[in-house]
Amino acid sequence: MTTFTMTIDGRAVAGHATFDVVNPATGEAFAEAPECDREQLDAAMVSAQAAFRDWRDDLDRRRQVMHACADALLARAEELARIATLEQGMPLSNARRGVQRAADSFRRYAALELPRTVVQDDHEALVEVVRRPIGVIAAIKPWNVPIAMAVNTIAPAFRAGCSVVLKPSPFTPLATLKLGEILRGAAPAGTLNVVSGGNDLGQWMTEHPTPRGVSFTGSVATGKRVNVSAAADLKRVLLELGGNDAAIVLDDMDPVDVADRLYWRAFGNSGQICMAVKRLYVPESMYGAVVDALATKARTTRVGNGLDADTELGPVNNRPQFERIAGLVDGAVRAGAHVAAGGRALEGAGYFYEPTILSEAAEGMPIVDEEQFGPALPVLSYASVDDAVHRANDSTFGLGASVWSADPDRAAALAERLEAGTVWINTHGMLGHAQPFAGTKWSGLGAENGIWSVHAFTEPQTIYHAR
């Protein structure tokens, strides 16, 4: 079995213990990851703190390093992408795109300007505001898109001048450990430390006195714990949490066309995307036609091992999540939903679940009220647009939402009524490099992406020049 190493102070570090990593396409363990102990975490924190001293003051160097990171990633893109597919399950083509995007992201943050702002310039004083990096960032990540999640923090943290101690999910530690290995030659020792372990390790990180900021992506339940733990030490937090995104189709859309365009916005990465469509609201007048069109798409989707070239949809990432999806679908059916397509696990090894369209779904069913994070979409009918808006907003989540209409003005007017950090019109889940990404309500705290991530890892510093 292949063993992977952590990156601490620029060196490869093995664990005193290891844990198995399972390939979700086979259900079998295929590699081992190191279990970071407290002393090793301390060493990573000491190294990150020491590296921060020079790193923060040398933007030119950081820019060179970020380009070197992009080059290093691209040089080993295939190796990294295969590991991501083996541990996560996603189609290899998606994993390859993920590596390319990660490299692009390093280059974009390297080019990003953080302007000094002059807020006063008169006979009394020149007062400028600059952004000062906050220090070591503890980054804790989920299992759905490991490489993107890691670089979402590393690249803006580097641009800001922060050093990083990064922990991937125990379900998908390998691509992130490999990323650490690949970047050892590019990033100065201590600027990026990658450690792996279970949930306890995440808690040790949030309780540790060294980090000044926590960049957490994961579930609402864990995010709340992270926030409480960070608050005890007044650490800054950036929380990107779960979503239960509603998509509202208006009655001026063609049912087949809208189903065609919506389908992959719900089922991409087997639904394991925070900003996937997770509840679909359709007018009564076209409900049957939309359900039928979605069901046809679901039945013709090629589900399989992500390493097979013609696979469109991989497995669910892990057994608990696989069982949760099955439980949510079974529960919805018991409560009166109808399976229009899918509705069961595929026979054989691995955590494969048929892409599932549930009609006659309604609020009160956990698959509607909670985040399913898997390949099953509940479709709900609505009587009036006001009714749809009210039901879409009646949620503790507020990550994303979308409106689908042939009339851009009508859609735009509706968009602003939706309680979500991002509202898309005639698409869903698109994240351009300059747009802020932030959840309202329980979907997060703080904004990330582009300049907003750099702001999260810096604070304003006022320089007052007396005259």
Instruction: Note whether 371 binds ligand NAD by CB under 6 A.
Output: yes
Choice from 242, 255, 315, 398 touching ligand NAD (CB under 6 A): 242
Reading the block at residue 231, the tokens are 């608050």
- Given a contact cutoff of 8 angstroms between Cβ atoms, the answer to whether 373 and 271 are in contact is yes
Interatomic CA distance for residues 118 and 403, integer angstroms: 40
Residues 127 to 146 in contact with ligand NAD, rule: CB under 6 A: 140-144
The one catalytic residue in 274, 354, 360, 371 is 274
Residues in contact with 260: Cβ distance below 8 Å, sequence separation at least 6, in sequence order? 293, 297
To 10 degrees, what angle do helices 59-75 and 146-160 make?
160
Nearer to ligand NAD, 212 or 297 (CB): 212
In the complex, the smallest distance separating the C-beta of residue 273 from ligand NAD, rounded to whole angstroms, is: 7
CB of 437 to ligand NAD, least distance (A): 7
For helices 146-160 and 77-88, what crossing angle results, to 10°? 130
Decide if 85 contacts 93 (C-beta within 8 A). no
Task: Give helix then strand counts, H and E, for the chain.
Answer: 15, 21
Residue 39 tokens, joined: 């002393």
Closest residue to ligand NAD: CB criterion: 202
With respect to ligand NAD, which residue has the nearer C-beta, 56 or 141? 141
Q: Is 87 a catalytic residue?
A: no
| Tokens 């006001």 belong to residue | 386
Pick the closer one to ligand NAD by CB: 373 or 382.
Answer: 373
Rule CB under 6 A: say whether 226 interacts with ligand NAD: yes
Q: Which stretch binds ligand NAD (CB under 6 A): 79-87, 240-248, 290-298, 303-311?
A: 240-248
In whole angstroms, the minimum distance from the beta carbon of 253 to ligand NAD comes to 27
Residues touching ligand NAD: how many (CB under 6 A)? Answer: 28
Nearer to ligand NAD, 88 or 359 (CB): 88
- To the query of whether residue 274 is one of the catalytic residues in this protein, the response is yes
Q: Does 219 interact with ligand NAD (rule: CB under 6 A)?
A: yes
> Judged by CB under 6 A, which of 240, 245, 312, 360 binds ligand NAD?
240
Q: Which two tokens stand for residue 430?
A: 């698109």
Tokens of 21: 């990593």
Give the single-character DSSP code of 163: -
Q: Which of 18/203 has CB closer to ligand NAD?
A: 203
Alpha helices in 56-166 (DSSP H): 59-75, 77-88, 92-111, 146-160
Q: In the set 156, 211, 218, 306, which binds ligand NAD (CB under 6 A)?
A: 218
Q: Which of 10, 156, 202, 315 binds ligand NAD (CB under 6 A)?
A: 202
- Does position 274 bind ligand NAD by CB under 6 A? yes
Rg (CA), the chain: 23
Q: How far is the CB of 422 from ligand NAD (least distance, A)?
A: 10
CB 392 within 8 A of CB 402: no
| Minimum distance from residue 222 beta carbon to ligand NAD (Å) | 3
User: What is residue 260's three-state secondary structure?
Assistant: helix
Binds ligand NAD (CB under 6 A): choice among 55, 263, 267, 373: 373
Contacts of residues 259-266 at CB distance under 8 Å and 24 or more positions apart, as own/partner, are: 259/290, 259/293, 259/294, 259/297, 260/293, 260/297, 261/404, 261/426, 261/427, 262/294, 262/404, 262/428, 263/294, 263/297, 263/298, 265/402, 265/427, 265/428, 265/429, 266/377, 266/428
Let me know if 383 is exposed, middle or buried by CB neighbors in 10 A (0-12, 13-18, 19+): exposed
Q: Tell me which residue of 11, 101, 24 sits closest to 322, measured CA to CA.
A: 24
Residues 159-198: x where in contact with ligand NAD by CB under 6 A, - otherwise, as a string? --------x-xx----------------------------
Amino acid at 244: N
Nearest to 411 by CA among 427, 397, 393: 427
Q: Does 206 bind ligand NAD (CB under 6 A)?
A: yes
Q: How far is the CB of 139 from ligand NAD (least distance, A)?
A: 9
Using DSSP's 3-state secondary structure scheme, residue 44 falls into helix
Active-site entry in 181, 240, 312, 354 = 240
Note whether 217 binds ligand NAD by CB under 6 A: yes
Task: Examine residue 222 and tell whether it contacts ligand NAD (CB under 6 A).
Answer: yes
Min dist CB 465 to ligand NAD, Å, is 40
442 binds ligand NAD (CB under 6 A): no
State which of residues 135, 444, 446, 450 lies at the interface with ligand NAD (CB under 6 A): 444
Q: C-beta of 373: minimal distance to ligand NAD in Å?
A: 5
Residues annotated as catalytic are 240, 274
Q: Residue numbers of the site for ligand NAD (CB under 6 A)?
A: 140-144, 167, 169-170, 199, 202-203, 206, 217-219, 222, 225-226, 240-243, 274, 371, 373, 399, 439, 444
